[in-house]
Amino acid sequence: MSEVKTKTPISNSRIGDSAPRPDGIPKVKGTFAFSSDLWHEKMLWGGTLRSPYPAARINKLDITEALLIDGVHTVLTHSDVPGEAVYGLEHADQPVMAAEVVRYEGEPVAIVAADHPEIVRRALAAIKVEYEEMVPLTDPEIAESVGHIHPDGNVFRKINIRHGDQEIQGDIQVEGFYEVGMQDQAFLGPESGLAVPGEDGGVDLYVSTQWLHADQRQVASCLGLKEEDVRITLAGVGGAFGAREDLSLHVHLCMLAMRTNRPVKMIYSREESFHGHVHRHPAKMWYRHHADREGNLLRVEARVLLDGGAYASSSGAVIANAACFAAGPYRIPNANIEGIVVRTNNPPCGAMRGFGAVQTCMGHEAQMDKLAAVLNVDPVEIRLKNALKTGDQLLTGQIITGTAPVAEVIRTCAEHVPSYQKSSDLMSLPGGAGRTADPEHISRGEAIAVGFKNLMFSEGFDDFSSAVCHLEDGVATITCACAEVGQGFVTLAQQITREILGVEEVILAPAATETVGSAGSTSASRQTWMSGGAVQKACEEVRLKLLQRVTEEHEIGIDDLVLAEGQVLSLNGDFSISIDVATENPLEARVEYRHAPTFPLDENGQGDAHVSFAFAAHRAVVDVDPELGLVKVVELITSQDVGRLLNPVQAIGQLEGGAAQGVGLAVMEEVLVAEGNIRNASFTDYLIPTALDMPPVEVAAIIEQPEPGAPFGAKGIGEPPSISSTAAVVAAIREATNLELPRVPVRLTDIVSVEEPS
Amino acid sequence: MPAALILMPVTVARSLDHALAALEECPEAIILAGGTDVMVQVNRGSMPVDQVVAIGRIPELQGWSREGDWLHLGAGVTYSEMMGEEISSMVPALAQASRTVGSPQIRNAGTIGGNLGTSSPAGDTLPTLFALEAVLTIRSSTGVRKLPINQFIVGVKQNALQPGELIEKISVPVLEGPQEFCKIGPRNAMVISVASFTLLTDVKESQVRSCLGTVGPVPIRPTEAENLLSNGVNWEKNKVSSEVLEAFASLCADAAQPIDDHRGSAAYRRHAIKILSRRAACRIFSEDNS
């Protein structure tokens, strides 16, 4: 909500510089206002009653006692939803509040607004719900063949990719089943927001989100309002990673505010947050790779099954990615891939960093290692031999026209000499602070993995961003609805503006639906390209207008003028005017920016569905205590294809942070679900890497090959770090243990086989 | 503030007497020290809170003192304090156990009295306190009593503290000889114990003391194993045979009474005790293969 404004010396804040984050110091000092810090003098507190059952019929819902509690202002249920009863990112199938049935543990059933959070808690406890429990559908393998648990059926999407010869057999074949557990985004800032009723019958919502305009569309639909009557402003976001792409408390807050005619604030508890957002899809995968005796890949067969949980969210796009990138960044002339994502009574799954490519990377990289082992060749060599390059065809028939430095990321990563020193400190061995191992108990493993995914939205989606550049008195104001979720767009937008306009002071207006069109989602590694592109275009237009004005007013040829250091200068040095003076009368440009069009996949999964691709490789060194099953990731080495490096410090931050999430998925991060119930909805039991678990990330190489068509030649860099890191770590554990380890996260008992004597 | 919101009475005790008087008045009050266990339960809604007596600022519960071969730890001594040089030189295993608790923030707030009060099977200081046969001084407004730890902790999150009572201090012997504590969790720090093990030596008495954590409703002393190792060690040479080590580890594992839960299986826990007990013994005694 607060304006971000800095005066950074222009000399180190342009494109390619490690410009500091304008919100960096406030975040470190604790003065940055997150959505959970929102406050209004007259506000009420909201809360949500959730289903304790993953599948049940609601026979009776009685709110009378809750309404009688002093300090309770309203209690609302499904029958109070003014507009559409359901919402969804791609397909509206998720009830704002459950009506007749609940389909997952934690599904909202009723909402309350009261004077104080404690009264909210008591009111929620006073709501009487009679549930009739049903047997939950929790096995995704049978979802397709059993009775529907939702009117829209149990299959969200099925994709078949048939490419080339469907029958060809390789002399060498390797096969495997692989499994990926359910990861959580584990952001630190829980879902929170504040809705303020408008005097005009509309509503203002301040909320942490990844995509303001998609929220606006869905919220307006459920409220039965026109879109312009739902005004959404981005509140400080405490991490996202995909989990804020779907609505959570948005409609609830607005309903409570409009019913009570009071501002209403809501914050989810940590436990509630685990039930209140989507997770990464758990995957079951089967692969068979065919190769010739020289190790050239001939064909890949795969089946990828994702558990989408109770509602659609972005499952359709996730399975498309999982299928399209199922075989990794390799040249494979023939393929038969089946991807299917199904509905169950498990927690809903949707977007998370890597978006379908993380799961399949774990599978295809295990296959590449198996192939190398059968052929008795170096795992690096087999990858280099088959590495995709520009001009090659993907499994979808699409030809890669952009840059594809796959061999470069593999080679630089493999050749890097690690700086790691062996330590005898017990704390640095597997088991860490628990002091469980001595050096002689440890077995070391090392392995490499490579992965890729698409940048931006695919399959014909009209993907665009909007921006406004306003230049007045030498101060540039950029308005863009791009959600800053920590990725650093606020820094980059300033860098781009300074680069193009040569001004020092750049103000970023609040991201809001009222002032500018959609920026699209902060996901799919797309905002540097898309909103960066929009800001670039808006600034270029203002630059041109300024030059035209100076040309007209001072009779100098436009080609003789440049913008630098806050001045409009003639190349021969005879003329200069400060931009402050030249823009006393303001200049403005309002633009939309689109990437090159994409196209849907046909019935054989063929088509130019994607815009651009980014690649990364990881090499992991792990120490394993095979007798106890404990693992310490000692070092991660990475190389990444970035197109062009726009801000080195921010890029390294993405490489480190993404790798940490990959390490987490490899060795500890899993939402444990038993019979549809989450058993570890807390940071006590949902474990994410600590400083003792996360090794240093050594960047072997940042490959800069400017991407044609991309603003400044830069590719998005947020997701690749979390794709191959998991695969590399589990492969290194395999090397250390000689175990197959077909599943992540690797659990203690996957390494140690023990049985309790009966 | 609306009428419906009855504020929870909280006594922030300034002295031991103040706390005991508050507890006399309201014997069922929740005793809040560092809050690192209590607040998790309160926030989760799994601990009903009507009254609170906060004891974190009571001077008499802070600090420690040495009296001959005994170390008296105030109930308010934090994990961080136990990791300090002085306590860790007297009771190394307690310092090692304290280091495995949570994050630095948690260790700065959480207390030994709180670990005892919670009486969780996964309490990290408990195995070492059991092995030391710690004695608790428990006070109420009407008097004081002393209780050995194995009579204090009686079940899963169950202890002998009566309404109105407060743990004042914990007394442990200062033994001569090396000590080892190890703990397993699926993360390298900041993790709840899946299994833990403590092994202490008493060189003067030529004895070992040991205890298993998180593999039973309460910490378990593997007495057969302790006797076997005490008798099997060559105390002059600080050596022990491989056979004795194997037997010790097997007896420790046999003594475990683990359960399956979402943090680990019973079979893994028993296996872990076998490995940890052998490794701990090997760190203290040199293995004699001759």
Distance CA(A299)–CA(A364), nearest Å, equals 12
pLDDT confidence bin for A11, thresholds 50/70/90: low
Rounded Cα distance between A633 and A415, Å, is: 19
- Residue (of A309, A658, A623, A563) closest to A441 by Cα position: A623
User: d(Cα A391, Cα A638) in Å, to the nearest integer?
Assistant: 25
pLDDT digits (tens, 9 = 90+) for A39-56: 999 999 999 999 999 999
Residue B107 at interface with chain A, using a CB cutoff of 8 Å: no
Estimate to the nearest angstrom the gap between the alpha carbon of A618 and the chain centroid: 19
Q: Comparing C-alpha atoms, which of A660, A237, A714 is closest to residue A492?
A: A714
| pLDDT tops 50 at residue B4 | no
How near does any CA of chain A get to the CA of B40, in Å? 9
DSSP A47-90: EEEE-SSSSEEEEEEE-HHHHHSTTEEEEEEGGG--S-SEE-SS
Burial class of residue A581 in the structure, from the number of CB atoms within 10 Å of its CB (0-12 exposed, 13-18 middle, 19+ buried): exposed
Residues of A in contact with B274 (CB under 8 A): none
Stretch B235-257: mean pLDDT, rounded? 97
Cβ–Cβ under 8 Å, residues A670 and A282:
no
Would you kindly state where each structural domain of chain B is located, as residue ranges? 10-54, 59-173, 179-288
Contacts of B197 in chain A (CB under 8 A): none
- In chain A, which residue's Cα lies nearest the Cα of B193? A434
Question: What average pLDDT does this structure show over A49-67?
Answer: 98
B190 touches chain A (CB under 8 A): yes
CA–centroid distance for A710 within its chain: 20
Which residues does chain B have within 8 Å of residue A115's beta carbon, measured at their own beta carbons?
Answer: 1-2, 5
Substitution target in B38, B188, B198, B268 with the highest count of A β-carbons within 10 Å is: B188
Q: H or E element: which one contains A582? A: helix A579-582
> Euclidean distance between the first and final Cα of chain A, in Å?
61
pLDDT value of position A5 = 46
Give the whole-angstrom CA distance, residue B122 versus residue B214: 5
Whether residue A430 has a cis bond before it, omega within 30° of 0: no
B263 in A contact zone (CB under 8 Å): yes
Q: What is the model's pLDDT at position A109? A: 98
Mean pLDDT of chain B: 95
Report the residue count for chain B. 290
- The CA distance from B58 to B33, in Å, is 10
Residue with tokens 């090794």: A695
- Closest-CA residue to A192 (of A43, A25, A41, A29): A43
Between helix B266-284 and helix B242-255 the angle, nearest 10°, is 140
pLDDT at A453: 98
Count of CB pairs separated by less than 8 Å, A with B: 123
**Band of pLDDT at residue B6, cut at 50, 70 and 90:** low
A675 touches B at CB < 8 Å? no
pLDDT in tens, A238-289: 999 999 999 999 999 999 999 999 999 999 999 999 999 999 999 999 999 9
Alpha helices in chain B (DSSP H): 16-25, 38-44, 79-82, 85-90, 92-99, 104-109, 112-118, 126-131, 149-152, 223-232, 242-255, 266-284
Domains of chain A, start order:
4-32+464-594 (3.30.365.10), 37-135+190-237+244-276 (3.90.1170.50), 279-458+602-751 (3.30.365.10)
* pLDDT the model gives residue B49: 83
DSSP one-letter code for A583: T
For residue A301, the surrounding DSSP H or E stretch is: strand A297-307
Dihedral of the alpha carbons of B268, B273, B279, B282, in degrees to the nearest 10: -150
pLDDT tens track for A717-743:
999 999 999 999 999 999 999 999 999
Rounded Cα distance, A650 and A702, in Å: 13
CATH class held by domain B59-173: alpha beta
User: Could you tell me if B105 and B129 are in contact, meaning their C-beta atoms sit under 8 angstroms apart?
Assistant: no
- Please name the member of A630, A687, A756 whose beta carbon is closest to the beta carbon of B270: A756
Token representation of residue A462: 């009209």
- Chain B contact present for A85, CB below 8 A: no
Q: Give residue A4's pLDDT.
A: 46
pLDDT band at B5 (very low <50, low <70, confident <90, very high): low
Measured between CB atoms, does A591 come within 8 Å of chain B? Answer: no
Whether B184 and A628 lie within 8 Å, measured CB to CB: yes
Question: Percent of chain A at pLDDT above 70?
Answer: 98
Q: Residue B275 and residue A679: Cβ atoms within 8 Å?
A: no
Q: Which two tokens stand for residue A644?
A: 């062009």
**Would the pLDDT of A369 be above 90?**
yes
Cα–Cα distance, A591 to A472 (Å, whole number): 18
- Using CA atoms, how far apart are residues A137 and A149, in angstroms rounded to an integer? 8
Helix (H) or strand (E) holding B237: none
The pLDDT-based confidence of A686 (bands split at 50, 70, 90) is very high
Whole-number pLDDT of residue A10: 53
pLDDT in tens, A666-680: 999 999 999 999 999
A118, A434, A682: residue with CB nearest B100: A434
Q: What is the ipTM of this complex?
A: 0.96
Residue A757 has pLDDT above 80, yes or no: no
The answer to whether the CB atoms of A754 and B187 lie below 8 A apart is no
- DSSP-based three-state secondary structure for A332: coil
Question: A177: part of which helix (H) or strand (E)?
Answer: strand A172-180
Chain B residues closer than 8 Å to A660 by CB: none
Q: Which pLDDT belongs to residue A6?
A: 46
Higher pLDDT, A756 or A197: A197
Distances (CA, A) of A229 to A11, A97, A261, A350: 43, 22, 15, 28
B48 touches chain A (CB under 8 A): no
Helical (H) or strand (E) element with A135: none
- How far does Cα A457 stand from its chain's mean position? 12
Of A125-134, A444-453, A580-589, A749-758, which range is least confident?
Answer: A749-758
Which residues have a Cβ under 8 Å from the Cβ of A515 and sit 6 or more positions away? A468, A479, A481, A509
Least CA distance to B277: which residue of chain A? A436
Contacts of B183 in chain A (CB under 8 A): 433-436
Q: What does pLDDT average to over chain A? A: 96
Measured between CB atoms, does B66 come within 8 Å of chain A? no
| CB-CB neighbors (< 8 A) of B122 in chain A | none
Cβ of A435 within 8 Å of Cβ of B265? The answer is: no
pLDDT at B136: 98
Closest by CA to B39, choosing from B104, B106, B119, B124, is: B106
With left for phi above 0 and alpha for psi between -120 and 50, is residue A744 left, alpha or beta?
beta
Contact A302, A332 (CB under 8 A): no
Residue of A nearest to B257 (CA): A756
Q: What does the alpha-carbon distance between residue B180 and residue B203 come to, in Å, rounded to a whole number?
A: 14
Show which of residues 82-101 on chain B sit within 8 Å of chain A, judged by CB atoms.
Answer: 96, 99-100
Residue range A172-186: mean pLDDT, rounded = 98
pLDDT mean over A156-182: 98
pLDDT at A1 > cutoff 50: no
Question: B180 touching A, CB under 8 A?
Answer: yes
Nearest chain B Cα distance for residue A123, angstroms: 11
Rounded CA separation B51/B43 (Å): 15
Mean pLDDT on B66-90: 98
* CA distance linking residue A719 with residue A351, whole number of Å: 12
Query: B70 to chain A, minimum CA–CA distance in Å?
Result: 27
Residue of chain A whose Cα is closest to the Cα of B4: A70
Each residue of A630-640: pLDDT tens digit? 999 999 999 99
Residue A573 banded pLDDT, cuts 50, 70, 90: confident
Q: Is B41 on the interface with A (CB under 8 A)?
A: no
Residue with tokens 């294809």: A641
Q: Which CATH number fits domain B179-288: 3.40.50.1220, 2.60.40.10, 3.30.390.50, 3.30.465.10?
A: 3.30.390.50
Yes or no: say if B40 and A684 are a contact pair by the CB < 8 Å rule: yes
Backbone angles phi, psi at A384, to 5 degrees: -60, -40
Match 């044609």 to its residue by tokens.
A708
**Interatomic CA distance for residues A574 and A624, integer angstroms:** 70
Average pLDDT of A513-521?
Answer: 98
Query: Which DSSP symbol is given to A37?
Result: G
Confidence of residue A325 (pLDDT cuts 50, 70, 90): very high
Three-state DSSP class for A679? Answer: coil
Q: Specify the 3-state DSSP secondary structure of A4.
A: strand
Paired sense of beta strands A464-472 and A587-594, if any: antiparallel
Asked if A431 lies within 8 A of B184 by C-beta distance, the reply is yes
Contact residues on chain B for A434, CB-CB shorter than 8 A: 100, 182-185, 188, 191, 196
**For every residue of A181-224, which 3-state class applies, written as one string?**
CCCCCCCCCCCEEEEEECCCCCEEEEECCCEHHHHHHHHHHHHC
What's the CA gap between A62 and A66, in Å, rounded? 9
